[in-house]
Amino acid sequence: MGHRVGRVLITGEEIAGRIQELAGAVAHDYAEKDPVLVGVLKGAVVFLADLIRAADIPITLDFVELSSYGAGTGSSGLVEIISDLSGSIENRHVLIVEDIIDTGRTAHYLRRNLESRHPASLRLCALLNKAGRREIVVEIDYVGFTIPNEFVVGYGLDFMAHYRNLPYIAVLEPEPAGPEPGGSLALQDLE
Ligand code: PRP
């Protein structure tokens, strides 16, 4: 069965408004700290790009790419680093930027991993918090939206590597039976 982009959960305008608030808090808290913002590839890039342009303070950027073993919409719980930071974070004020915290396993792993590199401080900022899916308690210092337990795409979040470029966050839903003239893209069409 194919899938399609369904109901819009958070509009682009709502995202933009919330990012202004988050960026204001980050700018206030890190004004004199020259933080390094660590974007978690790939999902966080859209959020990170908007967040840093709304935070009018000196910052630097770095990236890490992580992978959970297993396929589909679930998480097996095993996390590994595919691509590591380009520089040291020792004695730096580090803010991890994530698109979504789901089971919490990725954020838990990354927090512990980065903590072992002796940053001056370490916090986590996530656009979305799917709190109902949490398996490991993880402290999230800045949260954009808490969302229900639905599979969402857009604004950096993908399904089978697609939909990251949607300027809003929507629920992914099964393609209804029968032809749909002018309907949304079905993933089966991409394979
Ligand atoms: C997503 C998301 C988080 C993680 C959250 O990444 O960006 O990193 O899953 O899930 P968890 O709380 O259950 O660990 P994904 O592995 O889908 O890679 P992507 O960012 O490239 O889409």
Task: For residue 145, give every residue at least 6 positions away whose Cβ sits within 8 Å of its Cβ, in sequence order, or none.
Answer: 10, 18, 127, 128, 129
Which ligand 1 atom is the nearest neighbour of the CA of 75?
Answer: 13
Mutate-to-test residue for ligand 1 from 40, 69, 108, highest number of ligand atoms within 8 A of CB: 40
Which ligand 1 atom is the nearest neighbour of the CA of 109?
Answer: 14
Residue 175 Cα distances to 5, 25, 178, angstroms: 9, 40, 9
What is the model's pLDDT at position 78? Answer: 87
What is the model's pLDDT at position 67? Answer: 87
Distance 32 CA to ligand 1 centre (A): 31
**Ligand 1 pocket residue status of 158, Cβ below 6 Å:** yes
What is the model's pLDDT at position 191? Answer: 42
CA-CA-CA-CA torsion sign (66, 58, 167, 172): positive
Distance 106 CA to ligand 1 centre (A): 7
**Ligand 1 pocket residue status of 154, Cβ below 6 Å:** no
Q: Which residues of the chain have pLDDT under 50?
A: 71, 189, 191
Is 55 in contact with 114 (CB distance < 8 Å)? no
What is the model's pLDDT at position 71? Answer: 46
User: Which residue has the CA at smallest separation from atom 22 of ligand 1?
Assistant: 43
What is the model's pLDDT at position 181? Answer: 57
**Ligand 1 pocket residue status of 40, Cβ below 6 Å:** yes
- DSSP states of 141-156 as a string? SEEEEE--SS-EEBTT
Catalytic residue (choose from 50, 102, 141, 189): 102
| Angle formed at CA 19 by CA 18 and CA 25, multiple of 5 degrees | 95
Is 115 in contact with 141 (CB distance < 8 Å)? no
What is the model's pLDDT at position 77? Answer: 66
User: Which residue has the CA at smallest separation from atom 10 of ligand 1?
Assistant: 102
Quote the pTM value: 0.90
**Ligand 1 pocket residue status of 68, Cβ below 6 Å:** yes
Across-strand partners of 96?
Answer: 38, 124
Rounded to the nearest angstrom, the gap between the alpha carbon of residue 143 and the centroid of all alpha carbons in its chain is 11
